[in-house]
Structure 1
């Protein structure tokens, strides 16, 4: 029998003995530990070893070679080999393997216990189908229209991460967009584009890294001119009461497809009870055009919106973001009231809130819901964000997951600027309303939730920042009341006329 074939069978025999003995004696955990131990020894001995293909025939009888098992290579005595394996010592097998450098070299060269089968693949989809896609089908496949794709490609193709001896930047971007879009898993993309599965992962990482280098250009706080433009748009849409609002804030979670491979206690930090999933929390601030102007993701999914917001620069250093004392954000009941963050009035325990407060809440929510629309658009366009295909086994994998999320955020803003809009669907709006109701239930009576407005000791227990926020909220509510009264007077003057009918329609809208 050829020497290499004998050695291959010898390796198979030792692995069979090792696996069988460990499985019978120490259980699954020790079985998982042993391959890592062997691999570490392989690395230590690597520089001292040579592959058996380069050794001489005299090595066959080297006393340092592991002794061949009795009759294990001969098919005529398989039963005796089986009985011998059951009685062999696990420790002696490990000791024999680790004591022999040539055998360690063989383990390294044949380290896959399961056979490695080639994945069937073809480039027909990439070469023949993709070039003939119309605009709508191209958008379905790559989540952007062809012009927007060319725009993104121009922005990242000059990045040095795309070298000469690799696939084109165009190919790598298309593969990354399919993965971000959550349309296929790695093996399906490898088959469609005619490349290896490892190459698919590598291309995605390159594109994500190139997009993250554009972060400061596309994910930034609005300039004075952009804030003035937003103020004008709010006035034009009958939201003049909120003209000093510069953004809408909300928290969200990006679920992982699998449970983090940490210890039970560490993995529990990523579990969100309301979502019933493991994930990463993020704080999102957007403008009225669904553009994300501030984004942070510092905590696992179990953390509340308010706690995550407290550690952001936006909360701790507001003077670096707000240009004057009048500017503020609009948020939901998951946040605490303060001078820079206005939230709805909470429902009193005694019953319904007053009519004025209900009207204020309705007006505020009809504008603040933009934050949930923005998050919904982001997750619908890049559906991988609904189940991140990254398993947390180390800090490096967490960094990879954050780069994945960040790359999708950059793409979202690039497409907003390019006017490649992704309109919210009816299903998304229903999900938004469902989440809003869940938030109301979750934060009712919460310690960090909004304070009770019908409490006589309200102002006494408020912090200085809360009192300022409460004062600002009351002033905004008064403006809402004044606006409604003026509108009602206009309706009364125009009753019976066509102008009155149009005004009533506008009010219903």
Structure 2
């Protein structure tokens, strides 16, 4: 999971581990099944105690996610398939809500920043600037996730069937579960180290590569 692109060779891993290529795939599948069984334990909404100490925007933990969309899908469209969007009154308690960027819908559980021309108003601009700090922290979280698990930068798998698609999505789920487990064990400092490994430059490289692949599929 620490390799990507042409470096993610089953043959190379088998040679380094001293086992057959089939064993690499079998061991990987068995480990994935074990890790996926822990999803409900480690990818969950925050407890009242965790919310009380105010660590929601700062610990780089992932509390909800969705995957399976194509690269052209908008963030707001993907968000509609999360637990937070489909079951907001279960995910949020009382008057809780989530901050979001201007592309998201306004409702009692999702508060986005302002769009133009409202964003040009001084008070609204100040409000949006403060919320932008949370957005940066969200980017840090994804940077830490992709920095630690380089496979998310370029998972070289052929998606020719629904099963191929499902198998590819498992890599994302496993990475997120492990990300949260490590934070629980080692603290958020362990994730901070990896956010610099996958910064804006690396994200830009990935975006260009994803665009090229989508145009040539």
TM-score, normalised by the number of residues in structure 2: 0.82
2:152 to 382, 385, 398: 385
**Residue by residue, what CA displacement relative to the aligned partner does 1:312-367 show, whole Å, maximum 9, x if unpaired?**
3322321111110x211011223222221112112329xx7022222111110012
Determine if contact 2:114/2:124 at 8 Å carries over to the other structure: yes
Q: Which runs of 4+ in 1 moved over 4 A?
A: 429-432
Matched with 2:69 is 299
RMSD: 2.4
Q: Which of the residues 111, 114, 120 maps onto 1:345?
A: 114
Take 2:53 and 2:126, find their aligned partners in 1: how far apart are those partners?
27
> How far apart, CA to CA, are the structure 1 residues paired with 2:138 and 2:11?
35
Task: Select the structure with the greater relative contact order (CA < 8 A; seq sep ≥ 6).
Answer: 2
C-alpha contact 2:102 2:113 (8 A) present in aligned 1: yes
1:342 is paired with a residue of what secondary structure?
Answer: strand
- Which of 186, 190, 199 is equivalent to 1:419? 186
Residues 389 and 201 of structure 1: CA distance in aligned 2, closer, same or farther (over 3 Å): farther
Asked whether the equivalents of residues 373 and 429 of structure 1 are also in contact (C-alpha less than 8 Å), the reply is: no
Alignment of 1:116-265 (within 5 A): 180-182=1-3, 184-230=8-54
Q: Distance in 2 between matches of 1:427 and 1:393?
A: 29
Check 1:222–1:378 CA distance in 2 against 1; reply closer, same or farther (3 A cut): same
Alignment of 1:3-82 (within 5 A): none
The SS at the match of 2:65 is strand
- 8 A contact 1:379–1:385 mirrored in 2: yes
1:369 is paired with a residue whose SS is helix
| Aligned mates of 1:371, 1:299 — CA distance in 2 | 20
* Structure 1 position 419, deviation (Å): 1.9
* CA contact 2:143–2:198 (8 Å) conserved in 1: no
Q: 5+ residue gaps in structure 2?
A: 205-217
Q: CA deviation at 1:184?
A: 4.1
TM-score between both structures, scaled by the size of structure 1: 0.37
Indicate the residue corresponding to 1:362 in structure 2: 129
Cα distance in structure 2, aligned partners of 1:429 and 1:303? 21
CA distance in 2, matches of 1:365, 1:289: 17
What is the count of residue pairs matched by the alignment? 198
SS of residue paired to 1:330? strand
Distance 1:426 1:384 in 2: 13
Instruction: Give the match's secondary structure for 1:188.
Output: helix
Residue 394 of structure 1: how far off its partner (Å):
1.6
Partners of 2:157 and 2:111 lie apart in 1 by: 36
For 2:101, the equivalent position in structure 1 comes to 332
Tell me which residue corresponds to 1:428. Answer: 199
Structure of higher CA gyration radius: 1
- Please name the residue that 1:491 is paired with: none
Structure 1 unaligned runs (5+)?
1-179, 234-246, 248-286, 435-509
Answer whether contact 1:209 1:403 (CA < 8 A) is retained: no
SS in 1 for 2:41: helix
For the structure 1 residues 393 and 331, does the alpha-carbon distance in structure 2 shift closer, same or farther, using more than 3 Å as the test?
same
- Cα 1:194–1:201 change in 2 (3 A) is same
SS in 2 for 1:293: coil
Asked whether the 8 Å contact 1:220–1:294 carries over to 2, the reply is: yes
